[in-house]
Amino acid sequence: MGKVRVAGFSLSFDGFGAGPGQSLENPLGLGGRDLHKWFYPTRTFRAMIGEEGGIDDPFAQRSAQGFGAFIIGRNMFGPVRGDWPDESWRGWWGDNPPYHAPTFVLTNHVRAPLVMAGGTTFYFVTTGIDQALKQAQAAAGDLDVKIGGGVATVRQFLRAQAVDEIHLAMSPVLLGRGESLFAGLDLPRLGYRLTEVVPTALATHLVLTR
């Protein structure tokens, strides 16, 4: 069985992982796109969107490789709230999402699995994070499971001490408000320690392990 990891999770300097007011126009909330400026120029990101070139970034590569399954929250999947009115919403990413592996969506509302191009199937889990993790680990086999976000989902798994490694990309951006990752979390008490710090021009990369 592989590890459970949070990887390439972008934060503002004041600790917000998304801005306020998520919408179709602002999937990451107001100002949230700026958190990922370190990632957009990389060869890894450009390959995800079918483009060539880009800069080499080992942290971008680490954030995208070695995963056999993903877990994301309902808000990460899309802006629809409450009961699914229909099955027309199929995610932010078009017909070929970037996951290319089984992806488990935490939700309170039942929906049939959604098969997409490129190997991604979205499974909608209504029985909580423990069951989602069991299903994801079974699907991943010897590969790792990535807790892909958003903030509330990562916080749940951290609080449950279910994450083995966390890679945070701290961007030189101040959001002032939004979704705070650290509020109310005592990471040392939960068993996490800082094991790697690498400053770059566009982000400071922090790795915590448990």
The residue extents of the domains of the chain are 4-78+96-209
User: 31: phi > 0 → left, psi -120 to 50 → alpha, else beta; which?
Assistant: left
What is the pTM (predicted TM-score) of this model? 0.94
Task: Compute how many other C-beta atoms are within 10 angstroms of the C-beta atom of residue 176.
Answer: 11
Query: Over the stretch 37-51, which tens digit does the pLDDT of each residue have?
Result: 999 999 999 888 888
> Hey, is 3 helix, strand or coil?
coil
Phi, psi dihedrals of residue 75, rounded to the nearest 5°: -65, -30
pLDDT of residue 191: 96
Architecture of domain 4-78+96-209: 3-Layer(aba) Sandwich (3.40)
Inter-residue contact 35 to 176 (CB < 8 Å): no
Distances (CA, A) of 152 to 86, 146, 159: 25, 15, 10
pLDDT of residue 49: 80
pLDDT of residue 58: 92
pLDDT of residue 1: 86
pLDDT of residue 47: 87
Residues of the chain with pLDDT under 70: none
Task: Compute how many other C-beta atoms are within 10 angstroms of the C-beta atom of residue 147.
Answer: 25
pLDDT of residue 146: 98
Phi, psi dihedrals of residue 9, rounded to the nearest 5°: -85, 115
